[in-house]
Structure 1
């Protein structure tokens, strides 16, 4: 049974409070929610809604914002004083930017825009109750009944979950949500951005990858797909990435400086554990961005797609058969990537997907890549044409992007809450001057507000989350953040640029503070029990791409504009 069906089973035992001052909207929501929830309570304003919350103790709340007597944000603030964890869905408009910021600070779980879309409502409900589901599963100690609903495989739920966590811990990405700057052999300067889509079909996955920064300044990428199902494929994948990371972390430069030496060391190990009839599809890639060269050895992996600076998509087929325990020879090809600005690696879980019309996706991937710029719009395009994947899906996107230079407008300011507010007004004026769509402008402004406040609070003022939460609980935070200033500056660049025929907004926020280690973002993003990093999480939902520099002092926001 899928996760979504399991969550629907759980909602049948939950209650929900619906607050809206428009009778028709309230009646529509109430009728829809009664099909899902055990009980639906209603209220026609925030004051009545708070009273119903106190008396009925619902499991989840969905509320409008603008209402008479007491608006949605005021009600949420009062509810949060009583219950900090209850899931709350806020229905509001993109234009209510102040309300969105206040809602984030009140830990609103999900947002919906008017008019309410039925599919998006279902998604918001599913996402909102996931923490509640996790809590209740923990309280019931993963009973046998829930285990049978939760997992399709016969293995014990706790064992499977731990195995998957172990698999994720073995995936090392030295560039997670990071961009790094390059000055190549031609003295050209650009940033390199890497992004990953990793969607295992089951708890135990046959796909695995790692992206490593080598001592010689190059980057090693490997993406593997164990051609099998279930436990056997997962074990092979786990051993694959564990040993590859061992090679990178333990062997000297005489091994890691040459792709052939890395493959030789890996092959010697993996052939000893592969079964007689087992095969491994794997792509090794070593990129030297300074000298603009790329080496690759692909063992029956889907074609590597590369995109030239003028947008042409080039396809390079695998240069080796699948890896087995009996293979000896292999081939390495080298490419000049001076004029290559985009690279896409994938496993066959995506390449061999079936479209809604019954075709194989392999005929459409190249087209989709040619019509997109970033990972986000690439996968949005594919989601419109494919059914649910039948196998694990993994993609690695690499993008080279020129620096903004004189094409961007800049603003620098000494660090204070007042100046942060002025920078937000400056950004909104820039968007208005550029006649940006209201949705793009609102979402960009919201993400900018979150990341600039992060820079001000955490990097410049060195206010860690533990201290911040303590100050909030003691009622000291507002006075501190309002009155505290610093001579350390925050520098902002913003511009509307074009790449591959796509227009996009590029925002850079650079602070003179202490920064942070971006690797902590991996824990924040994937551990649902973590409360840290909410601003980054929310910003990633509404913006195509967010990256940090290696020292955490520079944040990049990118949003592709619709044609």
Structure 2
């Protein structure tokens, strides 16, 4: 059974329902699958059984988007795309293939294929690709219909301007890539990875990305376009988009190389830069396995590191600003075995004036970083000190946690309804030994109940949201749970840690189930659509804690509460 339709922006969804999609595949089962997936989103679906028929359908019908298999009789997908591109350079195309050969990928890129999907087909990946290319189609249709009277009316009422700004900002957010949206770093170490992105205007000169390269390595990018306005924003977004594109290819081919990433992105952006224009960029790799940080810093503010002795270490830039005349660059390595916290940031943060006369935030950033256990605490201190944001402010805050030596309670529970109540009582008893703050204890119990229930019904029993809602409507939900739990020998494991930092205690609770996990990327949809029923428990949990973080598999969640408060 297909999942419920993913939530889309109303403007995008309305426009998608006016589009015609050409699906080219020689496999009948795949064509049936496409029809089931796309029928809720697209006005009309046109099918073809091979590349030759697909090209004929493209010529004879008004097609807006093409999704095509690569390996087909008569005419393969790339050959068909090559014919299409002769007459249409802009129509969005999604290529589906089980082949990972470099020459296939290179040719596809040369033909300006907009998106790749690897077989076997996964519904969520197909829908994400469709949403992405639909935005291109919508933009092209707008340009064609700009003189339409309705759009002119919107322009006159300033509605159009607001809509364009929303689209521009949405485009910027799509360019930024965050593989750690409510996800912890959980390789050989456990770390909380958090981000603060505060553009001064819609057209931001700052951008960032955080990418998971493999189990042990993560990549962090911070870009600052020197100057303001459209030119700086375009340069920043172009280079960020290109870097993410290169990373995607390297991950696909399993051949990530930092030197080549820096080199290719510089060669890409240098001809685009104006004569007097410059960019500042941080390229940073954290390697938890080898306890190393590899970096190429181009005229960016110093990285701040905090070691286990609570000393601040500053890592300065090892390269000048990027200009069209730059030739060589340097990559350096730093041992991070003794490092607990990291702060990467743009200069808009440190060059901001503060409420203190003649002082810039650079005078306070080290102290605030030292006193902050989480990104939110760092952000609160920043906001309190600055008068008003004078430039784009971007920072990435990473805190490695000691979850081995700080355990204060742990227990495993069977997967049955009686244990849900037992687990709640056990958790409450632990909190009674920690604090007598009634409100805090209540919030902690709300989060525990919601996430423990998720581990029970979604994790170990495997009930997805759509099935749960159907069972509730049929009044068979409780009976189904009882039947499923009878044959379930999986456990739910709870561990509670207490980490003392400065004058505060941070209670960290981890709930892990033995289930298959889930794709945590769907959390971005949940938090953008908080009024929908799906995911309300996760949203409530985030609101009643200092943050929730899933592991990469999606079967373990960690959340925080702060006991004692200290002065900002």
Considering the TM-score relative to the shorter chain, is it more than 0.5? Answer: yes
Name the residue aligned to 2:163.
Answer: 158
Q: Distance in 2 between matches of 1:557 and 1:142?
A: 49
Q: Distance in 2 between matches of 1:288 and 1:503?
A: 29
Name the residue aligned to 2:402.
Answer: 402
Change (3 A) 1:271 1:371: same
1:250-261 alignment to 2 at 5 Å?
250-251=249-250, 257-261=256-260
Name the residue aligned to 1:423.
Answer: 423
Name the residue aligned to 1:204.
Answer: 203
Q: CA deviation at 1:278?
A: 1.7
Change (3 A) 1:404 1:361: same
Q: Which moved more, 1:275-284 or 1:413-422?
A: 413-422
5+ residue gaps, structure 2, are 1-149
Name the residue aligned to 1:316.
Answer: 315
Q: CA deviation at 1:268?
A: 0.5
SS at match of 2:295: strand
Q: Which moved more, 1:247-256 or 1:161-170?
A: 247-256
Q: Deviations over 1:63-112 (max 9, x none)?
A: xxxxxxxxxxxxxxxxxxxxxxxxxxxxxxxxxxxxxxxxxxxxxxxxxx
Name the residue aligned to 1:463.
Answer: 463
SS at match of 2:310: coil
Q: Distance in 2 between matches of 1:262 and 1:481?
A: 50
Aligned residues: 413
Change (3 A) 1:205 1:527: farther
Name the residue aligned to 2:327.
Answer: 328
8 A Cα contact 1:311 1:501, kept in partner:
no
Q: CA deviation at 1:450?
A: 1.4
Name the residue aligned to 2:29.
Answer: none
Q: Deviations over 1:362-397 (max 9, x none)?
A: 111111111111112211222222233122221111
Q: Distance in 2 between matches of 1:492 and 1:160?
A: 45
1:360-509 alignment to 2 at 5 Å?
360-404=360-404, 407-477=407-477, 480=480, 485=485, 486-499=488-501, 502-509=504-511
SS at match of 1:355: coil
Name the residue aligned to 1:107.
Answer: none
Change (3 A) 1:170 1:530: farther
8 A Cα contact 2:194 2:397, kept in partner:
yes
Change (3 A) 1:141 1:380: farther
Q: CA deviation at 1:256?
A: 5.7
Q: Deviations over 1:159-203 (max 9, x none)?
A: 3322222222222222322223343xxxxxx31221111222333
Change (3 A) 1:141 1:501: farther
Q: Distance in 2 between matches of 1:397 and 1:209?
A: 12
Q: Which moved more, 1:298-307 or 1:466-475?
A: 466-475
Q: CA deviation at 1:501?
A: 6.2
Change (3 A) 1:384 1:216: closer
Change (3 A) 1:354 1:473: farther
Name the residue aligned to 2:25.
Answer: none
Q: Distance in 1 between matches of 2:521 and 2:194?
A: 14
Q: Distance in 1 between matches of 2:382 and 2:266?
A: 34
Q: CA deviation at 1:233?
A: 2.6
Q: Distance in 2 between matches of 1:413 and 1:252?
A: 38
SS at match of 2:388: coil
5+ residue gaps, structure 1, are 1-139, 184-189
Q: Distance in 2 between matches of 1:401 and 1:509?
A: 16
8 A Cα contact 2:182 2:520, kept in partner:
yes
8 A Cα contact 1:247 1:256, kept in partner:
no
8 A Cα contact 1:214 1:220, kept in partner:
yes
TM-score between both structures, scaled by the size of structure 2: 0.67
8 A Cα contact 2:206 2:224, kept in partner:
yes
Q: Which moved more, 1:230-239 or 1:512-521?
A: 230-239
Q: CA deviation at 1:439?
A: 2.9
Q: CA deviation at 1:453?
A: 1.4
TM-score between both structures, scaled by the size of structure 1: 0.67
Q: Deviations over 1:214-273 (max 9, x none)?
A: 258422211101123333333222211211012112248999644332211111001021
1:15-94 alignment to 2 at 5 Å?
none
Q: Distance in 1 between matches of 2:334 and 2:525?
A: 35
Q: Distance in 2 between matches of 1:541 and 1:146?
A: 40
8 A Cα contact 2:185 2:193, kept in partner:
no
Change (3 A) 1:222 1:406: closer
8 A Cα contact 2:280 2:299, kept in partner:
yes
Q: Distance in 2 between matches of 1:445 and 1:404?
A: 24
Q: CA deviation at 1:147?
A: 6.4
Q: Distance in 2 between matches of 1:252 and 1:550?
A: 16
8 A Cα contact 2:250 2:256, kept in partner:
no
